[in-house]
Amino acid sequence: MKVGIQLYSVKNTLAKDPFGTLEKVAKMGYRYWETAQVPALAMANNYGLGLEVADAKKFLADNDVKIIGAHVWPLDLDAYQGFLDYHAEIGNDKVGLSASFFDDMDDLKEKCELYNKAGEMAKKQGMRFYYHNHFHEFQKYDGKYVMDWIAELTDPELVGLQLDTYWAARGGVDPVEMIDRYKDRLVNLHQKDFPEDAGEPINLFEERLDPNVKMNNDVYHFARRPTSFSEVGTGIMDIQAIINAGNRIGVPYILLEQDFTAMDEMDSIKVSMDAFHKYDGIEWA
């Protein structure tokens, strides 16, 4: 797999110096980027780079960077068309929903219909839509994981899956098993690490949350302690096993997504980059 970065990893640095931060990320050696809709990048309708199309294309060419994905949130189909247009023009062929919550089975079914529509719109432009998980997709509705329902209720020709291995582990499942489980749908992986001294189990449902809790933004942010994140290679996750599993089924990219860090963000992504260099089965070019 090739290593890339989700730009949410440097969200606070982007807020201070958007263009300068993008240049620094490129010079550090991250060549494959997934964009995030963050307030710092309000230009160009916040499509993730803060650059108009011509400027974005020039920047990407000058810095040998390729956009391989883009997170959209919320998923408003009217606004989403402009998002697709922008990313198609700059050469990106994948767009994904960064998060969603589900009130019940009926709500889940309705949202899967929405994902199919988003996937159809993307397909018309030669692109692929995908869904990014957190921990609550490994709650069970009617005896099956929400993630299983998403895979079952969406058209595989229209909707892919992006497995965030950290959040899968926080949902109480084995990321390696999930890579195999969703192997026919995976577009790429997200990676970070869980610190040994977090003061809580990696499985959120083991101690901090009722497995049947009704998910919403408040519960999500309660569960998302900044001290429960660490840089790649500094925690307890078996990242080599994750890389091996991804390579075994042909996943093209593993992307750093550092939700929180106690370090300077640029130092943080450098620590993770150095760690990725030590694993077998990793490519950079």
> How confident is the prediction along the chain (285 residues), in pLDDT tens digits per residue?
999 999 999 999 988 888 999 999 999 999 999 999 876 554 445 688 888 999 999 999 999 999 999 999 989 999 899 999 999 999 999 999 999 999 999 999 999 999 999 999 999 999 999 999 999 999 999 999 999 999 999 999 999 999 999 999 999 999 999 999 999 999 999 999 999 999 999 999 999 999 999 999 999 999 999 999 999 999 999 999 999 999 999 999 999 999 999 999 999 999 999 999 999 999 987
Structure confidence at residue 285 (pLDDT): 76
Contact yes or no for 160/185 (Cβ under 8 A): yes
Structure confidence at residue 87 (pLDDT): 96
Report residue 211 as tokens: 């497995």
Contact yes or no for 282/215 (Cβ under 8 A): no
Contact yes or no for 180/145 (Cβ under 8 A): no
Contact yes or no for 27/59 (Cβ under 8 A): no
- What CATH number is given for 2-278 in this structure? 3.20.20.150
Would the pTM count as exceeding 0.75? yes
Domain boundaries, given as residue ranges, for the chain: 2-278
Q: Tens digit of pLDDT for each residue in 243-255?
A: 999 999 999 999 9
Report residue 193 as tokens: 């690490």
Burial of 168 (0-12, 13-18, 19+ CB in 10 A): buried
**Strand 140-141 and strand 144-145: pairing?**
antiparallel
Structure confidence at residue 44 (pLDDT): 46
Structure confidence at residue 46 (pLDDT): 63
**Cα distance between residue 83 and residue 62, in whole Å:** 23
Rounded to the nearest angstrom, the gap between the alpha carbon of residue 49 and the centroid of all alpha carbons in its chain is: 16
φ, ψ of residue 138 to 5 degrees: the values are -110, 15
Q: Tens digit of pLDDT for each residue in 26-44?
A: 999 999 999 998 765 544 4
Report residue 80 as tokens: 């989403």
**Cα distance between residue 285 and residue 283, in whole Å:** 6
Rounded to the nearest angstrom, the gap between the alpha carbon of residue 18 and the centroid of all alpha carbons in its chain is: 20
SS3 content of the chain, % helix, strand, coil (to 5): 45, 15, 35
